[in-house]
Amino acid sequence: MIIQLAPEITSDQREALKTQISSLKYKTNEVRTQIGEYIIGIGKEKFDVRNIGHLPGIKDIHIVSDDYKLVSRKWKVNQTTIDLGDGVLIGDGHFALMAGPCSIEGEENIVKTINHLKENGVQIMRGGVFKPRSSPYSFRGMGIEGLKLWYQLARENGIKIVTEVMQVSQIEEMHDYVDMFQVGARNTQNFNLLDELGKVDKAVMIKRGISGTIDELLYSAEYVFSGGNEKLLLCERGIRTYERASRNTFDINAIPILKEKTHLPVIADPSHGVGIRDHVEPVALASTVAGADGVIFEIHEKPEKAFSDGQQTLDYEESAKLIRKMRALRELV
């Protein structure tokens, strides 16, 4: 069960509430987020919600049978909107595009990307400065100095930043220079990282694990939410299957399933999802029709020269065409 507490609840009322929940053989977990306060009751016994619902200090109470609670749509029926500031909204009808290079490569690369985004009305730029690479000898990103440079140029141009945080120690140094933290597919179940991101007042986009189930992704989101941060987005980026014809198997099913299970916005990443430049567009368009709240994709002025993931990166002409088509499709559906 989820009990949303009234802001004016007294400590006596809180104790009475907890005693009542314990008497139902439910374990109580208190959650305080930047937006509200909740008591999460965990238990199996059936009970009459009216036995608790009448107690003073309760704003709302819901029975949520899912193992994840706060991210469940059984609790919050209306979709969540993520507000990045300056009118940049994601979710509940606000379709968000996020594009940029796999890795931030330097000033020229940043400026060219920003210009392309502005020409096409895209408000959020992606890019990695800390890169998880399969080989330690691959380019591992420009680091915090690259992020600071990027931030300065992005701010001057009204562009928001989404970038991957790989470990707890990076959160603080990155904090002032990002609009949205990305949790990468290799870190979806890094529970320490998720706990710490719960304390952050910035949006967090969690990617689905390489071999992660949909429910595991939702549990990861529950970590951040119950840690205090409700500004959450989920991202389907393809999973590892026996198929070798594509880099990953983009799970289109995950989009409508996630939309049914959670109130959080669902973003599609067709670039990593298929991993093949020529097929990014159809997968992006399919995701748009499937109900994604946004699409994140990799672009570069010269994909064949990109420091990482060039094989799945669109050039600006392909990007502009894709953006036009996604917007047209959104109108249609």
The site for ligand PEP (CB under 6 A) is made up of 102, 128, 132, 184-185, 207, 237, 272
Give me 284's structure tokens.
Answer: 């992006």
Closer residue to Mn ion in complex, CB, 102/104: 102
Contact with Mn ion (CB under 5 A) among 102, 193, 217, 267: 102
Per-residue b/e over 204-230, b at no fewer than 16 CB within 10 Å?
bbbbbbeebebeebbbbbbbbbbbbbb
Closer residue to ligand PEP in complex, CB, 130/177: 130
Nearest-approach distance from CB 125 to Mn ion, in angstroms: 14
Q: Which of these segments, 2-10, 59-67, 219-227, 305-313, binds Mn ion (CB under 5 A)? A: 305-313
Closest CA to 285 of 317, 324, 329: 329
Closer residue to ligand PEP in complex, CB, 102/323: 102
Partner from ligand PEP, Mn ion, none binding residue 198, C-beta < 5-8 Å depending on class:
none
Nearest-approach distance from CB 210 to Mn ion, in angstroms: 13
Partner from ligand PEP, Mn ion, none binding residue 71, C-beta < 5-8 Å depending on class:
none
Question: One-letter amino acid identity for 199?
Answer: K
d(CA 219, CA 225): 10
Closer residue to Mn ion in complex, CB, 39/142: 142
CB-CB neighbours of 294 under 10 Å: 24
Task: Give the containing element (helix H, strand E) for 125.
Answer: strand 124-126
Closer residue to ligand PEP in complex, CB, 141/227: 141
Nearest-approach distance from CB 273 to ligand PEP, in angstroms: 9
Nearest-approach distance from CB 237 to ligand PEP, in angstroms: 4
Partner from Mn ion, ligand PEP, none binding residue 184, C-beta < 5-8 Å depending on class:
ligand PEP
Secondary structure class of 26 (helix, strand, coil) = coil
Partner from ligand PEP, Mn ion, none binding residue 237, C-beta < 5-8 Å depending on class:
ligand PEP
Nearest-approach distance from CB 240 to ligand PEP, in angstroms: 11
Nearest-approach distance from CB 272 to ligand PEP, in angstroms: 4
**Closest residue to bound ligand PEP by CB:** 184
Task: Give the containing element (helix H, strand E) for 108.
Answer: helix 107-119
d(CA 79, CA 270): 23
Closest CA to 213 of 257, 243, 182, 177: 257
Partner from ligand PEP, Mn ion, none binding residue 91, C-beta < 5-8 Å depending on class:
none
Give the N- to C-terminal CA distance of the chain in Å, as an integer.
Answer: 35
Q: Which of these segments, 22-30, 82-90, 102-110, 192-200, binds Mn ion (CB under 5 A)? A: 102-110
Strand order in the sheet with 2-5: 27-32, 37-42, 2-5, 58-62
Nearest-approach distance from CB 272 to Mn ion, in angstroms: 6
Positive or negative torsion for Cα 171, 177, 179, 181: negative
d(CA 3, CA 41): 8
Closer residue to ligand PEP in complex, CB, 61/185: 185
CB-CB neighbours of 296 under 10 Å: 26
- When asked if residue 309 is in the footprint of Mn ion (CB under 5 A), the reply is yes
CA atoms within 13 A on the CB side of 180: 33
Closer residue to Mn ion in complex, CB, 41/270: 270
Q: What share of the chain is helix, strand, coil (3-state, %, to 5)?
A: 40, 20, 40
d(CA 14, CA 269): 43
Nearest-approach distance from CB 102 to Mn ion, in angstroms: 3
Chain residues that interact with Mn ion, rule: CB under 5 A: 102, 309
